[in-house]
C-alpha cells in the first residue's frame, strides 16, 4: 500500500475558511487525535501548531503534532499491530533506570519515563505515543507527572477511537 503524508497548519501556509475550521480540526490525525485533545490533556499548557499525518491506504499509520511551546517539541504516535506492541514493550522493559507504570487503556498499556506510552487493544491494534523529552527535561513546560497524566489520557482516547 502507498504511504501518504499530509500536513495542516502554519508549515504549509494553509488557510482555512472559518466554516471549514471545525471540520479540519476533527480530521486531524485521521480523527484519532486533535488540538482540543492536546489542550485538554495538558490543561492548556501545550497547543498544537500544525500536524503531519502518515497513512497506509485509508488507515492512519501515525501522526506528528508540532507544538507552539518550546523549540521543536512534538507529540507523535504510531499505530501498529500486536507484534509491534510486543517489540516496543520488550525494548522498553530492557532499558534500565527510569519509571514504568501499567495503566488502563485497551487490553494492556504502559507509560515509561512519563514521556512514552504503548498500548494494545483486543483487536490486536497497538499504539506508540510519545512527547519530546525536551519539553520536560530541558524546557520545563510540564512536570513529569503532568506529562504522564496527559499522555495516559491521550492513549485512552486514541485506543477508544481505533
Hey, is 67 helix, strand or coil?
strand
- Per-residue pLDDT of 81-112, as tens digits, reads 999 999 999 999 998 788 999 999 999 999 99
Question: What is the pLDDT at residue 27?
Answer: 64
Tens-digit pLDDT profile for residues 58-74: 888 999 999 999 888 99
- Rounded to whole angstroms, how far apart are CA atoms 2 and 56? 6
- What is the average pLDDT value for the chain, to the nearest integer? 85
* CA distance linking residue 89 with residue 95, whole number of Å: 10
Instruction: Please tell me the distance from the alpha carbon of residue 94 to that of residue 7, in angstroms, as a whole number.
Output: 35
DSSP 5: E
Amino acid at each position: 500500500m502507498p504511504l501518504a503524508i499530509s500536513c495542516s497548519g502554519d508549515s504549509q501556509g494553509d488557510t482555512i475558511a472559518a466554516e471549514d475550521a471545525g471540520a479540519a480540526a476533527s480530521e486531524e490525525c485521521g480523527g484519532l487525535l486533535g488540538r482540543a485533545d492536546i489542550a485538554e490533556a495538558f490543561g492548556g499548557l501545550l497547543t498544537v501548531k500544525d500536524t503531519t499525518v502518515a497513512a497506509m491506504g485509508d488507515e492512519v499509520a501515525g501522526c506528528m503534532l508540532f507544538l507552539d511551546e518550546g523549540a521543536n517539541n512534538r507529540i507523535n504516535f504510531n499505530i501498529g499491530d500486536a507484534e509491534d506492541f510486543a517489540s516496543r514493550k520488550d525494548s522498553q522493559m530492557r532499558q534500565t533506570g527510569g519509571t514504568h507504570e501499567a495503566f488502563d487503556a485497551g487490553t494492556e498499556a504502559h507509560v515509561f519515563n512519563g514521556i512514552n506510552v504503548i498500548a494494545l487493544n483486543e483487536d490486536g491494534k497497538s499504539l506508540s505515543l510519545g512527547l519530546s523529552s525536551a519539553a520536560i527535561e530541558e524546557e520545563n513546560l510540564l512536570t513529569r507527572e503532568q506529562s504522564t497524566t496527559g499522555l495516559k489520557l491521550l492513549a485512552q482516547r486514541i485506543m477508544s477511537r481505533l
